[in-house]
Chain A
Amino acid sequence: MADEQKKDEAQPQPPAAGEAPKPAVEEKKVAPPPKPAAPAKPSVGPEPLDNELVRRLRARFGTALGDATLDRKQAIVVVRERLLEVCEYLKTEEKFDFLADLTAVDWFDRQPRFDVILNLYSFPHNQRLRLKATVGDTCASVTGVWPAANWLERECYDMFGIRFEGHPNLKRILLPDEWKGYPLRKDYDILKQDTDWIRENIGIESGQ
């Protein structure tokens, strides 16, 4: 199990240099100080997080941020608004230069309904950070910050129906363009699939 919280062992090197030595085995044993006292047994379940990065973020964005938690030793920061600014800041100032993943979770009966999850990674700091943007069905697009978000946001739109404002080419990616419904929403189940589309385009009756 990798410890992914090594905030203070910053090795600011540009990734392009190709020489960035990665913290390997021995660094794993160094307990990162900003972490709240490590529990004796493996930490399971969220606990509040308060470290340098979170403090800096709070100082800058204040109430735009929600809770910061540490879940299974992984840092999570909730962003309520100003997602784009937070992202730009994280990329330029905090060197989270890599968007590993962007996805969403449907909380169905919550308002706002969706969490958009951004899994960030910083090559210089070898550190991950998870942003959770609570959104209704629209969200700011981060393609301008990390071009990698392009397809990921399209997939998110495809599966959850979250509109990413400012996306250059927001259309369905995995499902056919004319498909109705958003499959990964919790209120979509297999009986709700687009039987009309199947009948028209494939010429068979859906077996469901």
Chain B
Amino acid sequence: MTNPFDILAPYLPDVLEPFILPLLQIGVVFLGLSLIVAYIVYAERKILAHIQVRLGPMRVGPHGLLQPIADGLKLLLKEDIIPRGADSFIFWLAPVISVMAAFTGFALIPFADNFIVTDVNVGLLFVIGISSLGIYGIILGGWSSNSHYPLLGALRSAAQLVSYEVALGFAIVSALLLSGTLSMSGIVKAQITHGVWFVFVQPVAFFILFVAAIAETNRNPFDLPEAESELVAGFHTEYSGFRFSLYFLGEYAAMILVSSIAVTLFLGGWTRPFQSVGWLDFLKYAPVALFAFCTYWCVAHERKMPRAPEWRWQRLMLLGLGGGAAVLALVFVAVPPVVDAVQGVFWFLVKVCAFLYGFIWFRGTFPRYRFDQLMRLGWHYMIPVAIANTIFCGVGLVLWRSLGWSFAGSLWIGTLLTLLVALLLSGQTEAPEPTVTRRGS
């Protein structure tokens, strides 16, 4: 549990001591996140493009790798429009709230066992509380634009967030019951002590958390607040330029935040898969494999590029990337402490990325719910199932603690009971039967 920044501690003046280290970490997280967000947008465009048999960005840099930077510059340089009749102060404030709420939450996320800005003992509550402030960015932005599409989008968004927050809360409660602590790193440690990720004993809670997370971040199929066929762009219709990019940043940061929460609560945070299984130790060289693959990919694609001189920079860049990845891979292999040091962050990011991929995948696959259907799903299915799950999780815990049954087994009994409830709830609707006949004429 040594914080890498503690090395600096002796050299700092006493008065500043409590500030410098967190500020450094905040800086790392903030800058890193901004970059990650930019590249998540890139990844989204690329993945969606490949789902939709397109290429996606290809022009700026090799395979469009510099596209996010170009986009960022473009957004910064665009004219900043405040609509006439808008409440300019709130119009200015709203995107800031949105970004702040999303970024502040990361202060409490344990990226690794030694990399967390501040480990508060009510960490989880704080993350949830602060991320729930993000809704103000949406409501106020929609309201202050003085236009109908944004207002409708904001109202929808607020109703949606408030509804799904309940289900989200109940899903979180079951993870809390299992770990017995509100501290984020404590929850991960509880999963290490139990030797099992909570997703394997509380799949229903995980599922509810996942669905609620999609709803909370206004992603497809719950992207009603920004349904472009109905509300143009929802609450940020009137925003342009830098303010718009702030919203964009906030939205994607919120996506990462909820993914991080889900990973911390249910997917074992920074631990590698099956940490208790000794012979899987070779998995710690997964970063090496990843970077080696990057090198291979870069080199392979460089060979496919045209030899024309105007492609020279693109080729050089790709080779440079590949070389960098190769160097990293070599360092990992050559210096074992380094590879051990990045384990936590690596696995954490891998899991978060898997989540984000799911978000993008859904966007490419699903149609959009109607508003009343979304509400019905939330209130009629998600919340009752979440409550049932919490109760049966408690029952399972009692079985485990008092009767001495096995941990996983007793919780699975609870899960099965929850699934029964879910089945009863969903039994009310019948499956669609095809009604179009072709024969005859």
Chain A–chain B contact at Cβ < 8 A: yes
CB within 8 Å of A: which B421-441 residues: 440-441
State A130–B440 Cα separation when bound (angstroms).
30
State A104–B333 Cα separation when bound (angstroms).
86
State A160–B441 Cα separation when bound (angstroms).
41
Shortest distance between the CB of A159 and any CB in chain B (Å) = 33
CB within 8 Å of B: which A1-34 residues: 19, 21-22, 24
Residue of A nearest to B437 (CB): A18
Return the CB mask of B52-78 against A: 1 if under 8 Å, else 0.
Answer: 000000000000000000000000000
State A15–B354 Cα separation when bound (angstroms).
55
State A22–B440 Cα separation when bound (angstroms).
10
Residue of B nearest to A24 (CB): B441
Chain A interface bracket (under 10, 10 to 19, 20 to 34, 35 or more): under 10
Residues on A with beta carbons closer than 8 Å to the beta carbon of B440: 19, 21
CB within 8 Å of A: which B386-441 residues: 440-441
State A21–B439 Cα separation when bound (angstroms).
12
Residues on B with beta carbons closer than 8 Å to the beta carbon of A21: 440-441
State A179–B309 Cα separation when bound (angstroms).
62
State A83–B377 Cα separation when bound (angstroms).
55
State A21–B440 Cα separation when bound (angstroms).
8
State A24–B440 Cα separation when bound (angstroms).
12
Residues on B with beta carbons closer than 8 Å to the beta carbon of A19: 440
Shortest distance between the CB of B100 and any CB in chain A (Å) = 46
Shortest distance between the CB of A38 and any CB in chain B (Å) = 28
Return the CB mask of B146-173 against A: 1 if under 8 Å, else 0.
Answer: 0000000000000000000000000000
Shortest distance between the CB of B40 and any CB in chain A (Å) = 46
Shortest distance between the CB of B186 and any CB in chain A (Å) = 66
Return the CB mask of B314-341 against A: 1 if under 8 Å, else 0.
Answer: 0000000000000000000000000000
Shortest distance between the CB of A23 and any CB in chain B (Å) = 11
Residues on B with beta carbons closer than 8 Å to the beta carbon of A24: 441
Residues on A with beta carbons closer than 8 Å to the beta carbon of B441: 21-22, 24
Residue of B nearest to A19 (CB): B440
State A22–B441 Cα separation when bound (angstroms).
7
State A186–B271 Cα separation when bound (angstroms).
84
Shortest distance between the CB of B439 and any CB in chain A (Å) = 11
Residue of B nearest to A22 (CB): B441
Residues on B with beta carbons closer than 8 Å to the beta carbon of A22: 441
Shortest distance between the CB of B207 and any CB in chain A (Å) = 43
Residue of A nearest to B440 (CB): A19
Shortest distance between the CB of B309 and any CB in chain A (Å) = 51
CB within 8 Å of B: which A21-74 residues: 21-22, 24
State A19–B439 Cα separation when bound (angstroms).
11
Shortest distance between the CB of B419 and any CB in chain A (Å) = 42
Shortest distance between the CB of A14 and any CB in chain B (Å) = 16
State A136–B73 Cα separation when bound (angstroms).
68
Residue of B nearest to A21 (CB): B441
Shortest distance between the CB of A199 and any CB in chain B (Å) = 27
State A19–B437 Cα separation when bound (angstroms).
11
State A24–B441 Cα separation when bound (angstroms).
9
State A167–B319 Cα separation when bound (angstroms).
75
A-B pairs with beta carbons under 8 Å apart, 5 shown: A19-B440, A21-B440, A21-B441, A22-B441, A24-B441
Q: Which 4 A-B pairs have the closest CB atoms?
A: A21-B441, A19-B440, A22-B441, A21-B440
Mark A residues whose CB is within 8 Å of B.
19, 21-22, 24
